[in-house]
Amino acid sequence: MTRPTEQIYSNYTPEDFQVWETLFNRQMNLLQDAASEKYLEAIDMIGFNAKKIPDFNEVNKVFKMNTGWSIEVIPNICPDDKFFSCAANKIFTSTCWLRTMAQLDYLEEPDMFHDVFGHMPLLTNTDYSNFFTAFGRLALNYIDKPYAIELLSRIYWFTIEFGLIRENGQLKIYGAGIMSSFGETKHAIANHSQKFDFNVDKILDTPYRKDILQDKYFVIDSFDQLYSSIPDIEEGLKKRI
Ligand SMILES: [Fe+2]
């Protein structure tokens, strides 16, 4: 399907607004108790709400005042080389289209509810942002080595997409793949899955599946821990390739 390559706000339909409002309200309800406090603070700061599909011009202004990210619209999933090079330069590649009302719970490819609601708020957090850009720089150094990129994708998967964080002794969500999914949010905080302390070597040796609710999650203690792990990730990579 042809997807838009720029956000033309007047092109959003009443159904798009209904989809955004339904998904936003449903997730925020669940996330009050389940999400990292840093995410909840960030979503307030960035100004997302149920009534308005985010306007990228406005989000860019908040990014600029905080960590300096900007948004580049992509129609579908971004190729690895472009994704990492953008991340290294604080450019977040995002779709700008929404799923339909019939697709609220399942979508084969990420739409803007995933990219925007799931990913964007935490980009205003300095430690998280530093990790993301450092990860992009590291991945670019290995872009011609498919096995290294596969190993790095495990780090990305178990942190930025499906990461959990321990806050005040409780497990909370920060991964965008969980944030943007009603089913995965309920699943991740329930006791049906294994939870491991964040461990770079273990993650590098853990393949993942995209087509199921996750059966294991890795738990960080802080976003600074993520950023501080970059040298360990590089060392772990060198041992394995
Ligand atoms: Fe994502």
The domains of the chain, with CATH numbers, are 9-240 (1.10.800.10)
Contact 3, 95 (CB under 8 A): yes
Average model confidence (pLDDT) across the chain: 96
pLDDT tens track for 28-61:
999 999 999 999 999 999 999 999 999 999 999 9
Over 90: is that where the pLDDT of 1 sits? no
Helices (H), 68-222: 80-88, 112, 126-141, 146-156, 176-179, 182-189, 200-204
Q: What's the gap in Å between 119 CA and the centre of ligand 1?
A: 7
Let me know the angle formed at the C-alpha of 155 by 186 and 173, rounded to the nearest 5 degrees: 25
Amino acid at 188: A
Residue percentage of the chain with pLDDT more than 70: 100
| CA 176 – ligand 1 centroid, Å | 6
Q: What is the pLDDT of residues 159-214, one digit of tens each?
A: 999 999 999 999 999 999 999 999 999 999 888 899 999 999 999 999 999 989 99
Question: From the CA of 240, how far away is ligand 1's center (Å)?
Answer: 25
Contact 148, 233 (CB under 8 A): no
Amino acid at 156: Y
Cα 1–chain centre separation: 23
Residue 84 banded pLDDT, cuts 50, 70, 90: very high
Q: Would you state the pLDDT for residue 190?
A: 87
Structure tokens at 220: 């960080």
Q: Which residues surround ligand 1, an ion (CB under 5 A)?
A: 176
Ligand 1 centroid to Cα of residue 77, in Å, is: 9
CA distance 111 to 217: 23
Residue 189 contacts residue 165 (beta carbons within 8 Å): no
Bridge partners of residue 27, in order along the sequence: none
Would you state the pLDDT for residue 18?
98
